[in-house]
Structure 1
Amino acid sequence: MAGQSGIIDDPEVRARWDGFQWTPENARKAKEIVARYPEGRQMSASIPFLDLAQRQVGAEANTQGWLPLPVMEFVARELGMAPIHVLEVATFYTMFNLVPVGRFHVQVCGTTPCMLRGSDDVLKACELRGLRKGHTTEDGLFTLTEVECLGACANAPMVQINDDNYEDLTEESMGAVLDALARGEHPKVGPQVERKTSCPEGGPTTLKKMAERNYDYRGSGDGSAS
């Protein structure tokens, strides 16, 4: 899996990230995060701290972000934890990237609902644009990963790109999303067909007035709005 293939510890990474510190804004966020937990329970902040650190690395590197070993050691010091305990968290959750990824981390769901609904077509659109599973494109723009269920089965097939979901995809619409990102545009997130979230495609087929406002149908007998 791209971003999860092993922890890098070499002199170049050390030289680049050994001096990692929170930005002033993130230092304020870190203070707010750790304050959510009781005294002596600051280890509970390891997940949000790692997420915050990964986002800061991404902002500095103009990528989706990853966690160099010195950055994880910084998080351990901030929380008074042994570094191994931070590594245990970072290596368990695939939301944390342990190696560099591109500006856009394209995570294609290949679990059964998405596979049956056309995830192979989604992957084909990626491959036609030079994306390969487990690799980052030469221009550093895209990293492609095939993942397990991302929780939008009703809108299969779908992908997650950084923090956004793109759903109800076809080869054509997936290609359009990638092309728009490559042009520096912000394609529409969510379903790529005419529906809101996981509502029926084309709109409701029953209780249609509920799409206008919250009608109370109780006691109407014939189903008409009251």
Structure 2
Amino acid sequence: MRIAIIGTGNVGGDIARGLRGKGHAVTLGARNPDDAEVKALAAETGAGVAFPAEAATRADLVILALPWGVAEGAVKALGDLSDKVVIDCMNPLGRTAAGMGLTIGHTTSGGEMVAGWLPGAQVVKTLNQVGAEIMAQNAHLPHRPVMFMAGDNDAAKAQVAEMLTDLGFEPLDAGDLTKARLLEPFGMVWINQALFRGKGRNWAFAAVEG
């Protein structure tokens, strides 16, 4: 697959590391393709580099790995992505009365908002449920980590499932895109355990059948 990763921070970088050597043509979408850190990431992962809109236009699959606070402007600047498969791996985090947490929920989700910003695109919510490091490397875990996905198009989810498998995850279909309202709080369970309950970042959820 031709995959564009929009955002070259921790999440985007570790997805690129996880996809290295898996047979995909990966392009990093960066505001400054000449940035030294971006060039170093591209050299490490064997990825190409382009401006975000250019990377998205050339891709079969577009992964949004941006801070939520800048997401709307950055996503809209990608242009017309009609019929493209777009992964939203962002959690709508921000400052709330109770501290850092989800800023929306119950009646909508970040995934649904992204779909509104990209009319015609096939948006799939996934890769929001673990830390970036697990996306780069998870073969050491005793169980295969699970990764839920939500979207309205079965063909798009099948394509995303193929990529999730390449990243080492067991993909499970959570249903239509409204189920992002479940997956975003689920991502907060990982964040709470990892960052606030002392579990650390080297773990993931697994679906264990008996």
Normalising by the residue count of structure 2, what TM-score does the alignment of the two structures yield?
A: 0.29
Higher percent of residues as strand: 2
Normalising by the residue count of structure 1, what TM-score does the alignment of the two structures yield?
A: 0.27
Which protein has the larger Cα radius of gyration, Structure 1 or Structure 2?
1
Identify which of structures 1 and 2 has the higher relative contact order when contacts are C-alpha pairs closer than 8 Å and 6+ apart: 2
